[in-house]
Amino acid sequence: MSDEELQPTTDMETLVSLCKRRGFVFQSSEIYGGLQGAWDYGPLGVEMVNNIKRAWWRANVQERDDVVGIDAAILMHPMVWKASGHVDTFSDPMVDCRNCKGRFRADELSSDVCPTCGQKGQFTEPRMFNLMLRTFLGPVQDEAATVYLRPETAQGIFVNFENVQTTTRKKLPFGIAQIGKAFRNEITPRNFIFRVREFEAMEIEYFCRPEDSLRLHQEWMEERRRWYARFGLRMDRLRLRAHRQDELSHYSSATSDFEYLFPIGWGELEGVAHRGDFDLTQHAKHSGKALTYFDEERGEHIVPHVIEPALGVGRCMLAFLADSYAEEIDEKGEKRVVLRLHPAIAPIKVAVLPLSRNEKLSPTARDIYARLRKHWMTQYDDAQSIGRRYRRQDEIGTPLCVTVDFQTVEEDQAVTIRE
Ligand code: ATP
């Protein structure tokens, strides 16, 4: 089947409503009408987010001996953003509709017809709008006190290149991984957790010899595809798209995006960028520190090139949610929602369900619950019919349900496990 014939598993409204109903994601500050571009992760959402981060960290740091992790501060010296090019070029072109006052990203408009009011030819000339969020450090709110909330975690890695290299004594090629919050003052935050103003990023800067960089760029793309496959993402809904020359970021000589068939259509899930030696060279120039690597084989100092796989945790969660979503009709003709999440990603691993709320069953069921909880996120549910409780677990992707019945307590101590 071609990409064009494939359909998303569901629409965004259905996912938003499931996420709210079951406590995955809530609108930020909802009781005050919400804040655009900010979302809160509820009890199930935070588990899923943690599972995604753990799965990424495990594959990219724990299981590799050529990648180490760091956790840099969100606030950085303002010179970082001057050197990285973000102050001057991290901007999107913005236009306003003179008729309805709607505001849009010019590069996302396909014609001169306003998507909100339908009027033609009402857009202002595009103005460049810097996406970095600014704040002030200390009591005086002037230019000298201005700092930025980082728009990517990458720069925390580049400025620590020397620290990490000397303390770990890693030889090229090696990578530094980081998971952390990033902020972008997006012109049009929308599509639920797909495009937000505050998000968590998972990024690796993989440093290598210039002559190995093209090969390693390819290898990282393959590695990242294997990661998605390992956690059950359907491969026909994931595709790689190389950036055109005019799309490339200011730092990149080549970038490919993994795109996923989200409920809104194909959209970027992860970028795998070839950043060349741009960042280390810029920071060396602006800080006056030599950010080089001594290549023992050649007996010379070189500036490593960098490959960067980078994705947002929320966007990744949206892909896993959409990918695992299915609606089925049961024997009674009722609709049942099932999330077929990989067990490592599922928020709850086991549900303990006594056949009914009965004083004979409860002690055994509670004892099993207490024992399982030490190892996995476990839920105990004895409210309503057993069929309903199974459906509740199906809807949140719980891989295992343990049912305790009278036979368990009266005869064999055996439980029924449903996968
Ligand atoms: P776009 O062109 O869609 O604005 P980008 O190309 O600027 O995105 P990158 O800088 O490559 O995005 O960011 C790497 C990854 O971080 C993206 O693939 C995405 O998963 C995530 N990401 C970036 N911006 C956002 C955002 N505003 N909300 C949620 N996730 C984001």
pLDDT tens column, 6-53 = 999 999 999 999 999 999 999 999 999 999 999 999 999 999 999 999
- Any residues with CB less than 8 A from the CB of 248 and at least 6 apart, and which? 254, 255
- CA distances to 59, 309, 319, 406, 413 from 270, rounded to whole Å, are 16, 7, 11, 50, 48
Q: Distance between CA 372 and CA 248 in Å, rounded? A: 49
Verify whether ligand 1 is closer than 6 Å to residue 275 (CB atom): no
Query: How far does the centroid of ligand 1 lie from the alpha carbon of residue 271, in Å?
Result: 8
What count of other Cβ atoms lies within 10 Å of the Cβ of residue 387? 13
Verify whether ligand 1 is closer than 6 Å to residue 224 (CB atom): no
Quote the mean pLDDT of the chain: 94
- Helix (H) / strand (E) element for 222: namely helix 213-230
Verify whether ligand 1 is closer than 6 Å to residue 37 (CB atom): no
- CA distances to 13, 130, 265 from 322, rounded to whole Å, are 11, 31, 11
Task: Categorize the per-residue pLDDT at 1 as very low, low, confident or very high, splitting at 50, 70 and 90.
Answer: low
pLDDT at 296: 87
Task: Categorize the per-residue pLDDT at 407 as very low, low, confident or very high, splitting at 50, 70 and 90.
Answer: confident
Question: Do 12 and 263 meet the contact criterion of CB atoms below 8 Å apart?
Answer: yes
Verify whether ligand 1 is closer than 6 Å to residue 204 (CB atom): no
Q: Mean pLDDT across the stretch 204-217?
A: 96
Quick: pLDDT tens for 146-177.
999 999 999 999 999 999 999 999 999 999 99
Instruction: Out of 88-92, 249-253, 351-355, give the one with best mean pLDDT.
Output: 351-355
Higher pLDDT, 411 or 201: 201
Q: Distance between CA 115 and CA 54 in Å, rounded? A: 40
Where do runs of H (alpha helix) occur along 101-160? 154-158
Verify whether ligand 1 is closer than 6 Å to residue 186 (CB atom): yes
Task: Categorize the per-residue pLDDT at 251 as very low, low, confident or very high, splitting at 50, 70 and 90.
Answer: confident
Quick: pLDDT tens for 87-135.
999 888 999 999 999 999 998 898 999 999 999 999 999 998 899 999 9
Most informative mutation of 94, 199, 308 for ligand 1 (most atoms within 8 A of CB): 199
pLDDT at 356: 84
* Percent of the chain residues topping a pLDDT of 70: 99
| Residue of the CA atom closest to atom 7 of ligand 1 | 249
Task: Categorize the per-residue pLDDT at 408 as very low, low, confident or very high, splitting at 50, 70 and 90.
Answer: confident
Verify whether ligand 1 is closer than 6 Å to residue 201 (CB atom): yes
The one-letter amino acid code at 178 reads Q
- Helix (H) / strand (E) element for 216: namely helix 213-230
Map tokens 């990285």 to a residue: 84
pLDDT at 297: 84
- CA distances to 119, 153, 200, 333 from 227, rounded to whole Å, are 45, 21, 18, 37
Query: How far does the centroid of ligand 1 lie from the alpha carbon of residue 363, in Å?
Result: 49
